[in-house]
Amino acid sequence: MSDIESRLAELGVTLPDAPAPAANYVPFVTVGNLVHISGQISQDENGMIKGRLGDDMSIEDGAAAAKRCAISLLAQLKKAAGGDLSRVSRAVKLTAFVNSTPDFLDQPKVVNGASDFLVAALGDAGRHARSAVSAASLPFGVAVEIEGIFELK
């Protein structure tokens, strides 16, 4: 078991199967030692996590939705790494989209749900560059979508 998988177990997180693409794209592309993971929408074992920040969803619920995106990112990353998370060197960059009203200004607080989780799961290697932007709507009405770039050893 890799250090990352040990940390996930300590956090009580079991990675789901990597989600299948919802349209005409691939879930990840590896270029050199960088893995570019397509946007992962907020979903859990009960289905899609829908909502709009500043309307019908709290910052805390949005952060929990962002964490679920990060869990899906790691599931895709595990698949990209051939099932071996010990090959993960670091998180490089996240780009996060938050379904929010025009007057909602706390997108960074929502995306902290993903960032905090990646640091907890990957340690210092989970610290990353990031963008957290508002979106007028997201596919299927989900609350959050996050794409990521990770480095493999």
Residue closest to 148 by CA, chosen among 101, 88, 107, 102? 88
How remote is the C-alpha of 53 from its chain's centroid?
17
Under a CB-based contact definition with an 8 Å cutoff, are residues 73 and 130 in contact?
no
For the chain, the structural domain boundaries read: 3-152
Neighbour-count burial for 30-61, b at 16+ CB within 10 Å, e otherwise: eeeeebbbbbbbbbeeeebbbbbbbeebebeb
- pLDDT score, position 1: 66
Tens of pLDDT, residue by residue, the chain (153 residues): 689 999 999 999 999 999 889 899 999 999 999 999 999 999 999 999 999 999 999 999 999 999 999 999 999 999 999 999 999 999 999 999 999 999 999 999 999 999 999 999 999 999 999 999 999 999 999 999 999 999 999
CATH class of 3-152: alpha beta
